[in-house]
Each structure stands twice: as C-alpha cells, then as structure tokens.
Amino acid sequence: MRGNMSGTSRGAQPPGPMQPMQISSWQQAELNAARWMRHWGYADATARPGGPDSGVDVRAAGALGQVKYQAAQVGRPELQRFVGARPRGSNAQLIFFTGSDYAPTAVAYAEEWSIALFKYGLDGMMTPVNAPARRISRPSPSTSPSPSPSPSAAAAASDASGESFWKRNWRVVAGVSLLLAPFGSIGDEKTYTGPLALDVLKFIGILLACWLVGTFLLATRFGFRTGPIGSGSAARADRGRTRPAAPAPTPASDSPDALVSEAARLLRSGRRQHQVDAVLRERGVTFMARGRILNEAKSLNKRTRDARPHGRAPRR
C-alpha cells in the first residue's frame, strides 16, 4: 500500500444514525457525500456544487472526496485522476463515492493507494466497498486517552509491520537479485569451463533468463505505478483488459411507462423508495433510469391524489 493517506483531523462521530436523503442530481450526490463525511468525523467537510472543477468535490481538513453521479462503472483512470488532484505533500484521506459499481482494476488500485471506496443508493445511504472505507465508516475512537499498549502487543505490531513490508516488497528484492546474479557468476570455474565461445553463450543465456524473470517481478511491482505521470499508460493497460459484461437489457415488455406505473403501484402499496429501487435494479434498470422512474412514479401518484374527488375512497 503506497503511503498512509489517512487524515489527521478526524474527530468523534456525531451520535445517532444517518437519515435517508433522496439523490436525483449530481449536486445532491455531492451534498450527501459531505454530509456523510461529517458523520464520519470530518466535521468541516464541505461540498460546493457548481464551483470550479478541480477534481475534488468535497474538502475537509483531513480528507478529500470525489463524487460520481453516473450509471457507468468506475474504472482505474478515474481514481488515478483523483490521486493526481491531491495537493502535493498532502496526506489527506482520499474518499471516492459513486452510485454505480467499481471495476476490479479500480478496487485493486484503491487498495494500493488506500483510497476509501463507497457506493451510495438513491436514498443516499452509503455502503463501504473496501477495507479503507470500512475503517472510516466505523465509529471513530473517543478523545479520551487510551492505555499504553503492552510490550507483547507492541512486539506483535512490529512483527506485523515487518511482515507487511516484506509482502509488499519481496518482488523488488528478488528482482534486483536476479538482475545482479549473472555478473556474480563471472569467473566461476565450475560454470565456465571453456572454450571461450561456449562460455560467452552460457553467460548470455544466464543473463537473459535472470533478466527476464527479474524485470517481470519488478514490472509487477512498479510497472503499473501511476500518479499524475503514469495515468496514460495505465489507462491503455486498462483498455487492453477484458471489460466486464454489460448489464442485461431491460426486457421489451418492461417499457418505461410500464415501469413507472409499476413503481407508482408499489409506492402506493406502502413500499419504501429504496425497496422499489431494489426491484427496478433486479429488472436490469440502470442507476440513472431508476432515479427518473421513481421521480415520475411519485409525480403520477401525486396527480392521481389531486384528481381524485374529495370524500371518495380509492378503488381497490
């Protein structure tokens, strides 16, 4: 994991659960993200919808947030641009919000850079996608001083840190060793027994074999390293990978008008908005279309109530 981006200005979370907030525009999505960041302890988190597009939608003293209101899957390039928008020298926690899904390459990149990934619903409620997000959404520790760890706990933490460092960097150690290994064999009488031409061929073979494996190990550790500089090459690498299958199209029988009528009927029957949203999602309706259908369904129910004569009960 590259660097520790966790912010240092996170306070205690406010008491009480968060209330739903309807999301039907990108401005509401940004305001909702700021609301959640304040709930997680970033008390000064502020969104300014309509301001200059700097790559950061929500700012706090210890965290930066970016919000996507789109039906398309979030890929690795969006996260790379988010990392590039972070001010130089800042250690603010990066938090990414979307109403859609994340590509596997995006999740892997976020794990490497400790970016917290969240997915929000049309009711504004948040679902953590990866470990940094789950860590942020947990209640923050109280401000009272905690007891000092015991020597055994400190030793265990030190061992875990060393194991984590080796797990991240063993490819570097092995790769560099393989790059240097051929030169250490020069002068070995057991390896190079002559004649000279055969010794040269042996050295070339050893050099190629070691360098191929060594460069491969280094490439898997650093080859796809991205920041503001490497985002172009990483984006090309993403295009070369197999894309996830597109969501199944909505059946022809479920026309937009039929879906609006069905959603209106479910809302009238007492279903919650997020429950109706789940029904539409199971039918393959995209994120943006679900928001439009729910808004039209509520408008249809309102028109029906307004047009109904006073004093008459609705017909079942």
User: What pLDDT was estimated at residue 284?
Assistant: 84
For residue 40, the enclosing domain spans: 26-137
User: Which value, to the nearest 10 degrees, does the dihedral of the CA atoms of residues 297, 74, 82, 111 take?
Assistant: 120
CA 200 – CA 285 distance, rounded (Å)? 65
Same domain membership, residue 37 and residue 129:
yes
| Residue 66: its H or E element | strand 63-68
Asked if residue 102 lies in contact with residue 74, where contact means CB atoms within 8 angstroms, the answer is: yes
Residue with tokens 């009528």: 261
In a domain, 89, yes or no: yes
Please state whether the predicted TM-score (pTM) of the whole model is above 0.75: no
CA 293 – CA 258 distance, rounded (Å)? 10
Same domain membership, residue 233 and residue 292:
no
With cut-offs at 50, 70 and 90, classify the pLDDT of residue 185.
confident
Same domain membership, residue 298 and residue 218:
no
R_g of the chain computed on alpha carbons: 27
Same domain membership, residue 212 and residue 124:
no
Instruction: Please identify, among 119, 137, 155, the residue that sits at the C-terminal boundary of a domain.
Output: 137
Q: Provide mean pLDDT across the span 241-252.
A: 48
With cut-offs at 50, 70 and 90, classify the pLDDT of residue 22.
very high
In a domain, 34, yes or no: yes
Q: Residue 271 burial (CB < 10 Å; 0-12/13-18/19+)?
A: middle
With cut-offs at 50, 70 and 90, classify the pLDDT of residue 148.
low
Closest CA to 180 of 220, 212, 216, 207: 207
Strand partners, 94: 64
Sequence-ordered list of residues with C-beta below 8 angstroms from that of 85, at least 6 positions apart, any chain:
54, 55, 56, 64, 66
Asked if residue 3 lies in contact with residue 91, where contact means CB atoms within 8 angstroms, the answer is: yes
In a domain, 281, yes or no: yes
In a domain, 147, yes or no: no
Angle between the 287-307 and 273-282 helix axes, to the nearest 10 degrees?
Answer: 130
Which alpha helices (DSSP H) does 16-150 contain, by range?
26-39, 76-85, 104-113, 131-137
Which alpha helices (DSSP H) does 185-315 contain, by range?
196-218, 231-240, 256-268, 273-282, 287-307
| Number of compact structural domains in the chain | 3
CA 56 – CA 216 distance, rounded (Å)? 35
CA 278 – CA 25 distance, rounded (Å)? 19
Same domain membership, residue 117 and residue 71:
yes
Q: Does pLDDT of 310 surpass 80?
A: no
Q: Residue 142 burial (CB < 10 Å; 0-12/13-18/19+)?
A: exposed
Q: Provide mean pLDDT across the span 166-172.
A: 75
Closest CA to 36 of 54, 14, 51, 55: 14
Asked if residue 134 lies in contact with residue 128, where contact means CB atoms within 8 angstroms, the answer is: yes
Residue with tokens 């050295």: 203
31 versus 212: the higher-pLDDT residue is: 31
User: What pLDDT was estimated at residue 158?
Assistant: 62
Same domain membership, residue 74 and residue 30:
yes
Same domain membership, residue 222 and residue 126:
no
In a domain, 1, yes or no: no
Same domain membership, residue 260 and residue 228:
no
47-99, pLDDT tens digit by residue?
Answer: 987 666 678 999 999 999 999 999 999 999 999 999 999 998 889 999 999 99
In a domain, 249, yes or no: no
CATH number of the domain that residue 52 is part of? 3.40.1350.10
In a domain, 228, yes or no: yes
Q: Residue 126: phi, psi to the nearest 5? A: -105, 145
In a domain, 290, yes or no: yes
With cut-offs at 50, 70 and 90, classify the pLDDT of residue 250.
very low
Q: What is the DSSP letter of 62?
A: S
Same domain membership, residue 230 and residue 266:
no
With cut-offs at 50, 70 and 90, classify the pLDDT of residue 38.
very high
Q: Does pLDDT of 245 surpass 80?
A: no
Tokens (6 digits) for 132: 């940094």
Same domain membership, residue 115 and residue 48:
yes
Same domain membership, residue 105 and residue 65:
yes
Same domain membership, residue 93 and residue 180:
no
The half-sphere exposure of 65 on its side-chain side, counting CA atoms within 13 A, is 32
Other Cβ atoms within 10 Å of 55 Cβ, number = 14
